[in-house]
Copies of this chain bind each other. A is one copy, B any other.
Amino acid sequence: MSTDGAVRRIGVLGGTGEQGQGLAYRLALVGHEVVLGSRSPERAAQAAAELVQRGPAIRITGAGNADAAAAAEIVIAAVPYDGHRELLAGLAPELDGKIVIDCVNPLGFDKQGPFGLAVGAGSAAEEAADALPLSTVIGAFHHVSAKLLLSAEPLERTDILVLGDDRAAKDEVIGLIAGIEAMRGIDGGRLRHCRQVEHMTAVLIAINRRYKAHAGLLVTDL
């Protein structure tokens, strides 16, 4: 649960992807109620049913993206970058007044490997904020490995950079993260910093390829 002890109802858009499933699993593992959202409610229900089998106390259900957004207090956007802005804009009524955690990394791949895509608004998170003027968009979970999230192994200690322009919302997300095993949320500053944070994922992918790892980041001296 969150550091304030509260159980949250969390929606995960793109919840049938690896990142979405992994975050849903880790959040449900500590007591939160999670609704996986997908374009296909059937696929969401199926993914939820599989995750629920991982433990007796895990509460995860599946729904369409709009129903997942409407049902939740806090919503995580774990969708592919392609179509991300349009998907969120279409859910603006369901997301009105809510914290939306964006963990989307706009990356391309060419023969030299991964690279950060130029984004008009600066970052995927800022695009989300433009598309959702009545929501509070926070960037987080960019660097955590979906493979590790979904693994049955205990997580290695990892830090999650939390970025945004609303201090109270950042603190709420940092509290949510602190409840997850081995994770620490760190205020990484303004939403505009999401560009370099999102693009840092290309560096982590390069590291993963060279070292055969699932690299993440820790911040020192805190």
A residues at B contact (CB < 8 Å): 112-116, 145, 148, 156-158, 161, 163, 186-190, 192-193, 195-197, 199-200, 202-207, 210-211, 213-222
Give the dominant DSSP class at A's interface. mixed
- Assess the B220–A219 pair: CB atoms within 8 A: no
Q: Determine how close the nearest CB of chain B comes to the CB of A13; give it in whole angstroms.
A: 25
Across-interface contacts of A193 in B (CB, < 8 A)? 115, 199, 202-203, 206
- Assess the B220–A207 pair: CB atoms within 8 A: no
Across-interface contacts of A206 in B (CB, < 8 A)? 187-190, 193
Instruction: State the CA gap A202–B191 with chains docked (Å).
Output: 12
Contacts A193-B203, A203-B196: A220 and B216 contacting too (C-beta < 8 A)? Answer: yes
Closest B residue by C-beta to A197: B203
- Assess the B207–A214 pair: CB atoms within 8 A: no
- Assess the B216–A217 pair: CB atoms within 8 A: no
Identify 8 new A-B residue pairs, CB closer than 8 A, beyond the known A157-B220, A216-B220: A114-B189, A115-B190, A158-B220, A189-B205, A207-B219, A215-B220, A217-B217, A217-B220
Interface-centre pick from A112, A156, A186, A189 (highest chain B CB count, 10 A): A189
- Assess the A218–B221 pair: CB atoms within 8 A: no
19 contacts between A and B (CB under 8 A): A145-B221, A148-B221, A156-B220, A158-B220, A161-B203, A186-B207, A187-B210, A188-B203, A188-B207, A189-B202, A189-B205, A193-B203, A195-B199, A196-B200, A200-B200, A211-B222, A217-B219, A218-B218, A218-B220
Interface-centre pick from A156, A193, A202, A222 (highest chain B CB count, 10 A): A193
Interface-centre pick from A148, A161, A196, A206 (highest chain B CB count, 10 A): A196
- Assess the B213–A221 pair: CB atoms within 8 A: yes
Across-interface contacts of A195 in B (CB, < 8 A)? 116, 196, 199
Which of B113, B148, B188, B215 meets A219, CB within 8 Å? B215
Closest B residue by C-beta to A145: B221
- Assess the A187–B202 pair: CB atoms within 8 A: no
